[in-house]
Structure 1
Amino acid sequence: MGGVDVEQGRAILHEAGIPTYETPERAVAAFVHMFSYQRNLELLQQLSPKSQVAEDCDRTGAGGVIRRALSNGASQLGELDSKAVLRAYGIPVVRTLLAENLNDVLRLVPSLGYPLAMKLASPDISHKTDVQGVQLNLFNEEDLRNAYHRIMNGVRERQPEAQVLGVTVQPMLQRVDYELIVGSRRDSSFGPIVLFGMGGIASEILRDQAIALCPLNRLLARRIMEKTKIYQLLKG
């Protein structure tokens, strides 16, 4: 600002190594770029060790689950196997049991208690809600029977060719504030990639997700989370 009237002053500042800008907007933009540059330098110095896995994790057990799934020709882990791997690495998961038929469902109730959630178990269907494959807040035997029939009817109507292993039954978690998605895959060019973002039935519509390359440490993992809108809600 100031144009030719401040040329002498700008020259003095330049000689002293102090930058000047024609408008406040350019000054703010330069400051933002400097901040981003410094932050990127800090991230570059975050060299994650090859492995930060806790010593008490069951890597052998997790590997066995994955190898068994691969030997069966699976391209992804089912609900029970996924939870077994998470449990092997010390990540808490809700107790989940497989029921092949309605009689099995009713037999499992005493060991789980009410309320319950019931989900379709099928290696061919990833999005269970598309076939009415998720039934929540089941408080009694009548609820269980109705939920089971809704799931089976939904599969027959929408994906009759799908392989159905039965249903999974688990205690209904109460007071869930937010649903999150955490995933990973191996890219042919970049190697292992981790994804974090908003979960639930709207996840593919809102697409509030961020990805990063492995390996990660706590700071780098936090940076991934900060790129999403759901992170602001998590902070409160």
Structure 2
Amino acid sequence: MSVPRHVAIIMDGNGRWAQARGLPRFRGHLAGREAIRAAVRAAVKHQVEWLTLYAFSTENWRRPQEEVDALFELFETVLWEETPNLVREGVRIHIIGEREGLPPTLLEAIRYAEEASREGTRLHLVGALNYGGRQEILSAVRRMVAEGLEPTEENLRRALYLPEMPDPDLIIRTSGELRLSNFLLWQSAYSEIWVTDTLWPDFSEEHFGQAVQAYQERERRFGGVPQR
């Protein structure tokens, strides 16, 4: 059976997980860190080549400033602390999204993680940070105009944040929500979608495996034509 080359995850439900336990919302984000580790382990186990995690959207700036600041501090800590382990596992880290407006200390952590892991070949781990699908397309169009490129699909793809990244075969969304939330809009045109009611902090390797199994049981179609 075919394995998805690229799995993308909309990590949703941290706040609800915390509120259900009478905890501050940020405790849910902290708890979600183990779910990220589980997703990486599962991706390696299933020989997935690319794993993209939706960490912070362009719309997330609307959250209370205290929560936004705490999230950025958490991202920074995770990058510094997790990168050495990921490097040992052969994981290469990429961060996509708009970097303008991010704290300088977070930008430093991003540069460190990308540089330290550049030789990794076992798994490409992509963090979508300050990311929005519409913003990515708009940025690509602006780049094409600035460079005088013809408005073709191929030129637009080359102008995306990470043009070498293949389209996601499978998109996983936790917390039961049935929407893409401005995530990889260009790349997800023919992605298979798997939704679980599980909140992100409770997401496990077993859930990842269930998603992969569901993907393998589907007949993928592109414009009504089954994939061979």
Which protein has the larger Cα radius of gyration, Structure 1 or Structure 2? 1
Q: Which has the higher contact order (CA 8 A, sep 6+)?
A: 2
